[in-house]
Amino acid sequence: MSTPRTDRTPRPSTRPSTGPGAPTRAALVRRRLVALLLLVALVVGLVLLGQVAVRAVGPLLSGDASAQEGKSPPPTPEAAGPPRDCTAASLELAVTTNAAEYEPGRAVQLDVTVRHSGGRPCLVDGSDAGRQVLVYSGDELVWSSAHCGSTERLLLMSTGDEDPSRLVRWDRHRSVEGCAPDQPEVGPGTYTAVVSIAGVDGATSEPVTFTLLAPPAPTPDPAEPTAPADGTTPPEGAPADGTAPADGTAPADGTPPAEGTAPAEGAEPPAPSDPPASGA
- What are the extents of the domains in the chain? 90-206
User: What kind of fold does domain 90-206 have according to CATH?
Assistant: Immunoglobulin-like (2.60.40)
Average pLDDT over residues 139-143: 97
8 A C-beta contact, residue 116 and residue 159? yes
What pLDDT is attached to residue 70?
Answer: 61
Inter-residue contact 261 to 275 (CB < 8 Å):
no
Confirm if 158 and 214 have CB atoms less than 8 A apart.
no
Identify whether the C-beta of residue 135 lies closer than 8 Å to the C-beta of residue 141.
Answer: yes
Alpha-carbon span 93 to 96, nearest angstrom: 11
Contact 169, 110 (CB under 8 A): yes
Segment holding 68, helix H or strand E: helix 25-70
CA dihedral 112, 116, 117, 118 (to 10 degrees): 150
Give backbone dihedrals phi and psi of 136, rounded to 5 degrees, phi first.
-120, 150
From CA 51, how far away is CA 45, in angstroms rounded?
A: 10
Coil vs helix vs strand at 250: coil
Instruction: Give this prediction's pTM.
Output: 0.52
Residue 94 near residue 129 (C-beta atoms within 8 A): no
pLDDT per residue over 14-70, tens digit each? 555 555 556 687 888 888 888 888 888 888 888 888 887 777 766 666 665 555 666
pLDDT (tens digit, 9 = 90+) per residue, 85-131? 999 999 999 999 999 999 999 999 999 999 999 989 999 999 999 99
The overall average pLDDT reported for the chain is 79
